[in-house]
C-alpha cells in the first residue's frame, strides 16, 4: 500500500507541521512525528511540509501493465434457461467499446445444460464465448459462480468486465472485484473508453446531485454493473463466435449454500415491460389526485409510474418508482405529470422513445430531456387529455 514517510531529521517545528493536516492525523510524541489512522492520503503535508513528508508508492500501487489485459468481457445471466436481456444490451455496448480500442468481445456463460444459450448468444457480434457447464452450477450459488469468473479472468485477462445490475450481478461483481483488488462502479448510466483502455464510468452520486466520472487507471480488470434497459438492444448477425469450454476443480464447485427448492412468485407485469407509462410527480397536491393520472394511463393502455418522493410519502407503491433507486424503463411513450426531472429519475427513463412532460415550471429539468414539453397546470391539462381520448375512442 502507499504510505507517507516522515524524515524526522528535517522536522524543525513539530507543532507547525501538525497543523498542516486538516484531519489531525499528524501526531507528535516521544520526540517524533507519526501519522495516525485518521490520514486520508490527501498529501497536503507532502506539498506544504518542506520535504519532511514524502509520499511513497509500492509496486502494486504503480499500476499494472495494461498491455497484458485486453478485451471486453460480459458476464451472461440466465433466467429459466434463457439469456437475460440485460446481457444482450451489455454485449451491444461491449462491441461499441471494443471497436474504439480494437479489442475483442467475450461472454462468460456459467450454468448447466447451456447448448441452447450458446446458440442464442452466437446470434450476436461476439468474438468468443467461454462456457462453464456443470451440474453444480445449475443454480446460482455465489462461491462456485465467483470461482468460475475468477478462473476466466485469470485465463483470459480481460481489461473490462461488465455485469448486469440484477440481484445476481450485484452479488457476483463486488466479490470478484475484491479478489482482484480492483474497483467496481455500480449502476453506471454511461460507459466510454479511452485509447489506453481506461474505462470511463459515469453514474449519479450524492442523491443524484452530481454525475460522478470514475476511472480505474492503475488496476485491471475494471468492473462495472449496468441495469436493464440502460443501453439499446444490439442487432443480430451471422454466428462467428468461437466457443471455449473450461472446467473447475471439484473443490471450487463446493458451496456453503444448499439449494433445496425453487418457489416461483406469481407472475406480474412490471412497469419495466410497459409500452406506455404515465408518471405522477410530487407536484400533485393530494393522494386522491393520483386517480386522475391512473385514469389517463388506463385510457392509453399503459401503467402508472411514480417518482421517489411519491413513494416516500406513501402515496404510491415502491414497485412503480422510476429512477436509479427504483426501476429503469424504456417505454414507447412516457408522460410525466408534475415531475421536476431530477438526475436520479431522468437516468431511469431517458432512453424512452417519446417523452412528453407536463409541468407548470418552464425551467424544470425534465424539459431538457423531453421530446414534447407542455408548460401548464396538470389539473387543467390532464382532464382535457382524458376527455379528448374518450371522445376519440367514442368516435
With cell 397546470, the residue in question is: 377
Residue 393 has pLDDT above 90, yes or no: no
pTM: 0.79
Binned at pLDDT 50, 70 and 90, residue 394 comes out as confident
At 67, give phi and psi (nearest 5°): -65, -20
Residue 376 has pLDDT above 70, yes or no: yes
Element (H, E) at 304: strand 303-306
Determine how many CB atoms are found less than 10 A away from the CB of residue 113.
Answer: 11
**What pLDDT digit, counting tens, does each position of 130-148 carry?**
999 999 999 999 999 999 9
Confidence at residue 73, expressed as pLDDT on a 0 to 100 scale: 98
Region of residue 388 (phi > 0: left; psi between -120 and 50: alpha; otherwise: beta): alpha
Lowest mean pLDDT among 59-63, 72-76, 118-122, 172-176: 59-63
Q: Are 168 and 225 in contact (CB under 8 A)?
A: no
Q: β-strand 333-337 against 354-359: which pairing, if any?
A: parallel
Which CATH class for the 3-62 domain? Answer: alpha beta
Q: Are 176 and 161 in contact (CB under 8 A)?
A: yes
Q: How far apart are CA 224 and CA 106, in angstroms?
A: 15
∠ CA 89-163-139 to the nearest 5 degrees?
Answer: 105
Element (H, E) at 83: strand 82-83
Average pLDDT over residues 82-91: 96
Confidence at residue 238, expressed as pLDDT on a 0 to 100 scale: 92
Q: Which of 105, 12, 88, 85 is nearest to 52 (CA)?
A: 12
CA 246 to chain centre: 28
Average pLDDT over residues 46-57: 91
Which grid coordinates are listed for 98? 471494443
Q: How far apart are CA 134 and CA 150, in angstroms?
A: 16
Binned at pLDDT 50, 70 and 90, residue 6 comes out as very high
Q: Is 169 helix (H, G, I), strand (E, B) or coil?
A: helix
Confidence at residue 262, expressed as pLDDT on a 0 to 100 scale: 84
**What pLDDT digit, counting tens, does each position of 237-272 carry?**
999 999 999 999 999 999 999 988 888 877 667 898
**What pLDDT digit, counting tens, does each position of 156-168 carry?**
999 999 999 999 9
Q: CATH assignment of 271-394, given 3.40.50.2300, 3.30.365.10, 3.40.50.1220, 3.40.190.10?
A: 3.40.50.1220
Cα Rg of the chain (Å, integer): 26
Confidence at residue 395, expressed as pLDDT on a 0 to 100 scale: 56
At 208, give phi and psi (nearest 5°): 85, 5
At 346, give phi and psi (nearest 5°): -60, -40
Residue 363 has pLDDT above 70, yes or no: yes
Element (H, E) at 29: strand 26-29
* Topology agreement, domain 66-253 and domain 271-394: yes
Q: What percent of the chain has pLDDT over 70?
A: 97
| Residues written for the chain | 395
Confidence at residue 60, expressed as pLDDT on a 0 to 100 scale: 55
Measuring CA to CA, how many Å separate 42 from each of 55, 58, 319? 10, 17, 42
Q: How far apart are CA 388 and CA 312, in angstroms?
A: 33
Confidence at residue 1, expressed as pLDDT on a 0 to 100 scale: 62
Q: CATH assignment of 66-253, given 3.40.50.720, 3.40.50.1220, 3.40.50.300, 3.40.50.620?
A: 3.40.50.620
Q: How far apart are CA 387 and CA 244, in angstroms?
A: 60
Binned at pLDDT 50, 70 and 90, residue 63 comes out as confident
Q: Is 184 helix (H, G, I), strand (E, B) or coil?
A: strand
Name the packing angle between helices 290-299 and 378-394 (round to 10°).
30
What b/e string do you get for 252-274 counting C-beta neighbours within 10 Å, with b at 16 or more? bbeeeeeeeeeeeeeeeeebbeb
Q: Is 221 helix (H, G, I), strand (E, B) or coil?
A: coil
Q: Are 149 and 74 in contact (CB under 8 A)?
A: no
DSSP letter at 232 equals P
Confidence at residue 209, expressed as pLDDT on a 0 to 100 scale: 74
DSSP letter at 322 equals B
Q: How far apart are CA 55 and CA 111, in angstroms?
A: 47
Binned at pLDDT 50, 70 and 90, residue 58 comes out as low
DSSP letter at 248 equals -
Q: What percent of the chain has pLDDT over 90?
A: 83
Confidence at residue 48, expressed as pLDDT on a 0 to 100 scale: 93
Which grid coordinates are listed for 230? 440502460
- Find residue 108's DSSP bridge partners: 75, 130
Q: Is 287 helix (H, G, I), strand (E, B) or coil?
A: helix
Residue 234 has pLDDT above 60, yes or no: yes
Spell out the domain ranges in the chain.
3-62, 66-253, 271-394
Average pLDDT over residues 10-24: 93
Amino acid at each position: 500500500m502507499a504510505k507517507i514517510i516522515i524524515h524526522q531529521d528535517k522536522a524543525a517545528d513539530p507543532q507547525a507541521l501538525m497543523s498542516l493536516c486538516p484531519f489531525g492525523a499528524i501526531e507528535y510524541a516521544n520526540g517524533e512525528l507519526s501519522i495516525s489512522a485518521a490520514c486520508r492520503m490527501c498529501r497536503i503535508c507532502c506539498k506544504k511540509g518542506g520535504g519532511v513528508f514524502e509520499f511513497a508508492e509500492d509496486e502494486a500501487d504503480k499500476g499494472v501493465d495494461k498491455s497484458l489485459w485486453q478485451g471486453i468481457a460480459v458476464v451472461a445471466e440466465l433466467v429459466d434457461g434463457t439469456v437475460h436481456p440485460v446481457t444482450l444490451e451489455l454485449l451491444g455496448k461491449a462491441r461499441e467499446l471494443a471497436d474504439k480500442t480494437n479489442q475483442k468481445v467475450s461472454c462468460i456463460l456459467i450454468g448447466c445444460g447451456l447448448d441452447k444459450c450458446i446458440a442464442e448468444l452466437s446470434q450476436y457480434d461476439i468474438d468468443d464465448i467461454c462456457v462453464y457447464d456443470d451440474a453444480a452450477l445449475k443454480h446460482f450459488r455465489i462461491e462456485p459462480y465467483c470461482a468460475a469468473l475468477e478462473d476466466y479472468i485469470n485465463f483470459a485477462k480481460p481489461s473490462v468486465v461488465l455485469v448486469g445490475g440484477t440481484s445476481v450481478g450485484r452479488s457476483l461483481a463486488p466479490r470478484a472485484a475484491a479478489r482482484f483488488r480492483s474497483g467496481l462502479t455500480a449502476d453506471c448510466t454511461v460507459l466510454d473508453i479511452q485509447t489506453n483502455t481506461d474505462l470511463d464510468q459515469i453514474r449519479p452520486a450524492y442523491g443524484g446531485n452530481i454525475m460522478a466520472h470514475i476511472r480505474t487507471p492503475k488496476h485491471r480488470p475494471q468492473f462495472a454493473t449496468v441495469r436493464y434497459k440502460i443501453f439499446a438492444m444490439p442487432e443480430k448477425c451471422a454466428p462467428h463466435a468461437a466457443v471455449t469450454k473450461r472446467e473447475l476443480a471439484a473443490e471450487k464447485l463446493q458451496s456453503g449454500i444448499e439449494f433445496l427448492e425453487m418457489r416461483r412468485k406469481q407472475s406480474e407485469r412490471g412497469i419495466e415491460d410497459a409500452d406506455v407509462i404515465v408518471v405522477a410527480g410530487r407536484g400533485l397536491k393530494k393522494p386522491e389526485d393520483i386517480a386522475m393520472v391512473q385514469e389517463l394511463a388506463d385510457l392509453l393502455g399503459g401503467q402508472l409510474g411514480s417518482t421517489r418522493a411519491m413513494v416516500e410519502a406513501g402515496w404510491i407503491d415502491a414497485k412503480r418508482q422510476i429512477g436509479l433507486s427504483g426501476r429503469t424503463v424504456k417505454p414507447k411513450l412516457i408522460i410525466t405529470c408534475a415531475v421536476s426531472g431530477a438526475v436520479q429519475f431522468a437516468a431511469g427513463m431517458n432512453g424512452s422513445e417519446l417523452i412528453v412532460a407536463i409541468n407548470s415550471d418552464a425551467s424544470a429539468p425534465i424539459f431538457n430531456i423531453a421530446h414534447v414539453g407542455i408548460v401548464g397546470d396538470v389539473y387543467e391539462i390532464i382532464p382535457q387529455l382524458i376527455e379528448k381520448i374518450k371522445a376519440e375512442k367514442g368516435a
